[in-house]
Amino acid sequence: NSTLLATVIMLASLLSLFFYLRLAYIITLTLPPNTPSSLAPWRTPTKSLPLTAVMNTMALILLPLTPTLVNLM
């Protein structure tokens, strides 16, 4: 009884997957290649934020110390 139900659910999900893949394929074929992001300049000026680099480094360094810090509080 359970095997039949699992088989029916599996076949229904495969059918749904087939239609979703077909829909994604058709959408990819019909989209124009010129998206607004491709019309942007090739190199945009970037802002360098040193705070982000410092916070990422501190997070990676303090990650192994997290259990100790939690036990101290």
Of residues 1 and 65, which shows the higher confidence score? 65
Q: What pLDDT was estimated at residue 59?
A: 92
3 state DSSP class of 42:
coil
pTM: 0.40
pLDDT at 69: 85
| 2-52 residue pLDDT tens | 999 999 999 999 999 999 999 999 998 888 776 666 666 667 777 777 898
Q: How far apart, in whole angstroms, are the C-alpha atoms of residue 73 and residue 67?
A: 10
Cα separation, 1 vs 4, in Å, equals 5
